[in-house]
A and B are shown apart, each in its own frame.
Chain A
Amino acid sequence: MAKIKLSDKKLQELKDVCKSFNNEKGELINVLHKAQSIFGYLPAEVQEVIAKELNASVAHVYGVVTFYSFFTMIPKGQHPISICLGTACYVRGAEKVLEEFRRQLKIQVGETTADGKFSLSCLRCVGACGLAPVVMVGEKVYGRVSPDGVQDILSEYNN
C-alpha cells in the first residue's frame, strides 16, 4: 500500500472533526462520513488518525470502512462517472452502457483510471427515469445514453 502524507492543514481538520464528535468511538460512522467529504476517500493514513483519536483499533475502523459501500479507499477520478442501474434505466439497457464504459476505460466498477481522470460507479435512480438510461459525470446528467454515445461523452473530458 502506497503511503501518502497528509497535509498539516487537512490533518488538523480531521482531528477537529473527531473532536466535534467528542472523540467518541460510537460516532465512528459519522466521523468517517465527514472525513470522506474532506479527503474524497478514506486512505489508510486517515483511518489510522481516526482510530487513534477515537481510541479504537485500526482493524475495527477498517472493518467499518469495508462494510459500507458508501465508504471508499480509492480516490475518485477527476470526473467521477456514475451509471444508474435503477429499474427504469436497467430495462432500457443501462448494463450495456456500463459495459461500454468498462471496455473503453479499462477499469471495473469502484476503480479509477491510472491517470486519475475517470472513476466508475453505479447508483440506483437519480429521479430522471423519463431520460433512462441515465449517466452522470460529476454533476452533469446525460439522458438516453446508448453504448454508441459513450465515446462522445468521454471525449468531452478528454482534452
Chain B
Amino acid sequence: MNMVKLIIDGKHVEVPENTTLLKAAKTVGIDIPTLCYFELKDMNIENRPGGCRVCVVEVRGRRNLAPACNTMVAEGMEVFTHNIRVLNARRTVLELILSDHPAECLTCSKNGNCELQSMAQQLGVREIPYAGEQSKYRKDTSPAIIRDVDKCIMCRRCEMMCNDVQTVGALSAVNRGFMAVVAPAFEMNLEKSTCTYCGQCVSVCPTGALTEVDHSRNVINSLADPAKTVVVQTAPAVRAALGEEFGLEPGTLVTGKMVAALRRLGFDYVFDTDFAADLTIMEEGSELLDRLTRYLKGDKEVKLPILTSCCPGWVNFFEHNFPEMLDIPSTAKSPQQMFGPVAKEYFAKKLGIDRKNMIVVSIMPCLAKKYECQREEFKVNGDPDVNYSLSTRELAHLIKQSNIDFNALPEEDFDNPLGASTGAAVIFGATGGVIEAACRTAYELYTGKKLEKVDFTELRGLENIRHATLDFDGLPINIGIAHGLGNARKLLEDIRAGKSQFHAIEIMACPGGCIGGGGQPYHHGNSEIIKQRSAAIYREDSGKPIRKSHENPFIQELYREFLGKPLGEKSHHLLHTHYFDKSVGDFIEE
C-alpha cells in the first residue's frame, strides 16, 4: 500500500493513498463537520455525494475550496480546515441550506435529533440573512413512513440506502434545481411504490424529511379507556437499544427497567414478543424439519431452501420483487403477528373478555411492523390482532412524557404466561439469530439427542452474506444468512437460477438485523452502536436459564392447553399466513 504524506492544520499526516481528506484529518483528531456524508463502517455503507459542501477545506494552490469527504489525499498537500475563508464559506453554505428550510423546529418530530439543527448550533448560525422562496411540496403519509420533503436538504442518504444498500429502488432524486426532491417514480405516493417500509431511509435522514407515522396518541387514548384491557409486547431488539434514549451507554440491557416503565405507563399486562419468538421457532423449525424430511425421502415437490418470514420488510420485498417464489418462505407469521392471535384468542378467553375489548400494542425496532399489523389478513372482522405498533423511539417519548425517571426504575419481570421466553428468542434481534434459534430446536427434534453446544457462533457476525454447514448428527445442513435487502436479493437470484445449495436461509431487511432497525434510536452512522447492541443481545441469551425454544414451559403449556401440536390445525389457522403478488407498476402487461 502506497503511503501519502500531507499536512493538515500544521500537523504531519501519513495515510494510504485513496484516503479522503475527511478520514485523513480524523487520524490526527481533526473532526471536519459533515452533513450529507454518511458512513456505516464495516457494513460497506457510504454516502459521499459531495453535495452539501459543509465539509469544505482549503488546499494550498487550489483555486476553489475542496469538499473533504470527496477529495483524495495527495503527496505534499497542505490543508486548512478552519481558516477564515473556510469558516465563512461553511457558514454561508449552511445559511443557504437553511434559507429554504421550514423553521418548524419546535414542533418537528426530529427536534433534538436533527443533524441540520446540530450543525446550525455547531457553526453558531444565529440568523439567516437570505430570505428566499420556500419549497412547498405535498406531505405523503403511508402506513409507516411520512415524507415531508420540504425539510429535505438533498443529502441523498435515503436514496443511497434505498437503492445501493436495499436495492428497493423506491426513492430517487427527481426534477432539478430548486424543484429537486427525493420521490418515488412519477412522484406517486410511497404506498403505491415498491417501498418495503424497512425504514432505513428514516434511520439515515439527517432532518425531519422522513419520519415514522406516530401512533403514540392512539396508545395513550387506549390506556385511558377503562373498558379496554391493554396488553403490550416488546421485541427482542428494543431492550438492547432503548437505554440510549436515556443517556445510557450503547449496549446497555434495560429489559427490567423497560418492563417497569411499561407497567407505570398503565399497561395491564406487560408481555414479551420473545414468547412469540419461541412460538415462531416451534412452527418454523417444525416446518423446516417437515420440508427436510420429505426432501430426504425423495419428495421432488418440496421447496428448499426454506426462507425465514419474521421480517415484514423482507416479506414486502419478496412480494414486490419475487412474486413467482411466494411458496418458498416459511408460512409462519412473524412473532408480532403470532403474539396477536395468542393474546386475543387464547389469553383474552382466559380472562373472560371479548377480543374487541383487548388492545394489543407492540414495541418494535421496526417501521414495517406498523404496516404489517394493518394487513387485512391479520384482522378478524375488522379487528386487528395487533392494534398499534410503536417504534423504540416512540416508546422513549412516551416514557419521557409520562414523568418517569427511567434510570431510577427498578428491574421488574414480565407477566406470565405470555412474558416467559428463552435465550433462543432474544437473539431474533440480531442477524443470524433466528436461524440459530431454529437450529437449536430443529437439531434436538431431528436427532432426538441433546444439543451439547448451544452457541452456533459460526452463524453470528456482521458480514453481509454468511454461510455455514451444521452437522445434524451426520446430516450436513447448509445455512445461509443475509442482512440488508441488497444481500437478500443476491441469495434470491441464486435460488431463481437454481444455483442455491442452502437448506435454510435467514433474511433480515435491516443491516445488522432488528438491532439496526428503522425504528431504533438514531445511530447517526456510528456502527459501533450496532455492534454494542448485538453484543447485548447475545449477553442476554447466555444469561438465560433456558436457551432452547421448545423447552419454554409456557410454550409447552400453550400447546397442551390450546394449540395442540406445531403445524396442527389450530396453529395453521392462527399462526401461519400466505403471501401476495404485489409486483407494481407494470402498466404493460395488465
Residues on A facing B (Cβ under 8 Å): 1, 3-6, 11, 44-45, 47-49, 56-63, 66-67
Contact = CB atoms under 8 A, between A and B. Distances in A.
A61 to B, nearest CB: 7
A5 B585 CA distance: 14
B587 A63 contact: no
B392 interface: no
Nearest to A52: B586
B588 A1 contact: no
A151 B185 CA distance: 40
A58 B171 CA distance: 9
A45 B185 CA distance: 12
A61 B585 CA distance: 13
Interface in B132-177: 163, 168-176
B174 A45 contact: no
Given A45-B587, A48-B586, A61 B185 contact: yes
A105 B26 CA distance: 61
Contacts of A48: 585-588
Given A67-B175, A67-B176, A59 B588 contact: no
A44 B505 CA distance: 36
A66 B174 contact: yes
Contacts of B364: none
Given A1-B186, A47-B185, A60 B172 contact: yes
Contacts of A44: 185-186, 587
A26 to B, nearest CB: 15
Interface residues of B, number: 21
A137 to B, nearest CB: 28
Contacts of A5: 588
B588 A6 contact: yes
Contacts of A47: 185
Most chain B C-beta atoms within 10 Å of own C-beta, residue among A1, A49, A60, A63: A63
A62 B187 CA distance: 9
A62 B185 contact: yes
Given A6-B588, A45-B587, A58 B174 contact: no
**Which secondary structure dominates where chain B touches chain A?**
loop
Contacts of A56: 169
Nearest to B179: A66
B157 to A, nearest CB: 15
B172 A57 contact: yes
A58 B169 contact: yes
Given A48-B587, A59-B193, A66 B176 contact: yes
Interface string B403-434: 00000000000000000000000000000000
30 contacts: A1-B186, A5-B588, A6-B588, A11-B588, A44-B185, A44-B186, A44-B587, A45-B587, A48-B586, A49-B588, A56-B169, A57-B169, A57-B194, A58-B185, A58-B186, A59-B169, A59-B170, A59-B174, A59-B193, A60-B169, A60-B172, A62-B172, A62-B185, A62-B187, A66-B175, A66-B176, A67-B173, A67-B174, A67-B175, A67-B176
Interface in B185-199: 185-187, 193-194
Contacts of B585: 48, 58
B254 interface: no
Most chain B C-beta atoms within 10 Å of own C-beta, residue among A5, A44, A66: A66
A47 B186 CA distance: 10
Contacts of B79: none
B173 A63 contact: yes
A53 to B, nearest CB: 11
> Sorted from nearest, which 7 A-B pairs have the closest CB atoms?
A57-B169, A59-B172, A63-B172, A58-B185, A59-B185, A45-B587, A62-B185
Contacts of B176: 66-67
A57 B174 CA distance: 13
A6 B176 CA distance: 28
A63 B171 CA distance: 9
B183 interface: yes
Contact of A57 (B185, B587, B588): B185
A63 B172 CA distance: 6
Given A48-B587, A48-B588, A57 B173 contact: no
A60 to B, nearest CB: 5
Given A44-B186, A47-B185, A66-B176, A59 B171 contact: yes
A66 B587 CA distance: 20
Interface in B514-536: none
B251 interface: no
A57 B186 contact: no
B335 interface: no
A44 B586 CA distance: 10
A2 to B, nearest CB: 10
A47 B587 CA distance: 10
B171 A3 contact: no
B184 interface: yes
A66 B185 CA distance: 10
Given A57-B168, A60-B172, A62-B172, 15 more contacts: A3-B587, A11-B588, A48-B587, A57-B163, A58-B185, A59-B171, A59-B174, A59-B183, A61-B185, A62-B185, A62-B187, A63-B172, A63-B173, A66-B174, A67-B173
A60 B173 CA distance: 8
Contacts of B170: 57, 59
A29 B449 CA distance: 62
A45 B585 CA distance: 9
A59 B172 CA distance: 5
A1 to B, nearest CB: 6
B313 to A, nearest CB: 17
Contacts of A57: 163, 168-170, 172, 185, 194
A61 B169 CA distance: 10
Nearest to B184: A59
Nearest to A49: B588
Contacts of B587: 3-4, 44-45, 48
